[in-house]
Structures are given as structure tokens and as C-alpha cells.
Amino acid sequence: MNYGYIRVSTREQNESRQLLALHNAGICDTNIYFDKQSGKDFERPAYSRMVEKLQKDDVLFIKSIDRLGRNYEEILEQWRLLSKEKQIDIVVLDMPLLDTRCCKDLIGTFLSDIVLQVLSFVAENERSNIRQRQSEGILAAKKRGIRFGRPPLPLPDNFANTCHQWKQGKITGTEAAKICKMPLSTFRYKALHHKE
């Protein structure tokens, strides 16, 4: 039986690209498992269901090697689990050398393992480089004076007077926040940084 697996994060928009590649490989929709995850977690309920269903000699198609895991170790662990424990074949569509259906002799397995390790390392290294480039870009932008996030809302017209009354102890922070129609924590923060 042939299966396909798709994983995208909430930030990515490449689900259709992966789906098209699996359809072109002849995988029907009923045998395609799909996970969408946030960047902060790596829970993959569809992947877990698929792994339970896989039987010896089934074939799993994935678009690229990094669909198996977030990092080098995870990719290698999943590859070992699928190919050695579950005894299924794996086809990585972006990398024809990673097709365990061919060259099942010792040399073929050895070459496949080497390619897998190199590609897993490259995938993790590229993710690391992307994160570094992002942080360098943000730092450079901040040095140029570019601000990130929402621009601050203008203070209400009555803020200065209300802030003065609060600092004089004439009204409480809760009353001042209500007068200015803003949350208490926001009022306190703005009031502490407000120059009279």
C-alpha cells in the first residue's frame, strides 16, 4: 500500500505543492495524512495514526526529507523507525537517491544512509541559517530605526491631566484608567513614562 505524508507549519503555505507532488506520484487522497502545526510545538497526530497503520512493505512518499522531523536527530530517528522497525520503504520525491525501493543490497543501503545523513544535516543547517539571517536582519532594521509591532495608540486628550491627578494622589490608578478608557496596566505604564 502506498501512503503520503504532508506537514506544514502555520507560517508556511506549501501544502498545495506537497499535495500536488503526492498526487503526481499516484497517491490517492484517502492515503494522504496531513498535519498542520504551530512553530512552538511538534505534535503530529496524523503522522502518529499513519505510523500505526503502516505494514511491512508499504511505501511512504514525502516531498522532502525535512517533513520527517525538525532537526537532524529527529529525521534520522524517524527514518530508522520507518525503514528498520516498521520495515517499510520510503521515497523522498525531491531526492531520487532517497528511495529505499531500489538498491536494497549492502552498497545501496550504505549509499542511501550516507545521503540521508548529509541531507538531514543540510536541512537542519539551513533552518539554523534562516533563523540567524532573520535575527541579523531584525537587528540591522532596529539600528536603522525601524520599529516592529503595532504603532502605539495616541494618548487620550485628558491623559496628562488625569496622570497629574493620579501622581498627586487625588484619584486611584483604577479611576484614572477608567477616565482614560484604557486598561490599568497600560495606564500605569504610560503614566510612569509620561513627562509632565
pLDDT, tens digit (0-9, with 9 covering 90-100), for 123-151: 677 777 777 878 878 888 888 888 777 77
What is the Cβ-side half-sphere exposure of residue 130, based on CA atoms within 13 angstroms?
6
Closest of 125, 193, 119 to residue 163, by C-alpha: 193
- The catalytic residues are 9
Closest of 61, 69, 70 to residue 20, by C-alpha: 61
Confidence of residue 76 (pLDDT cuts 50, 70, 90): confident
- Extended strands (E) in the chain: 2-9, 32-37, 59-62, 89-92
Q: 98-119 b/e with 16+ CB inside 10 Å = b?
A: bbbeeeeeeeeeeebeeebeeb
Task: Quote the pLDDT of residue 137.
Answer: 80
Q: For a pLDDT cut of 90, what percent of the chain falls above it? A: 31
What one-character DSSP code corresponds to residue 27? Answer: -
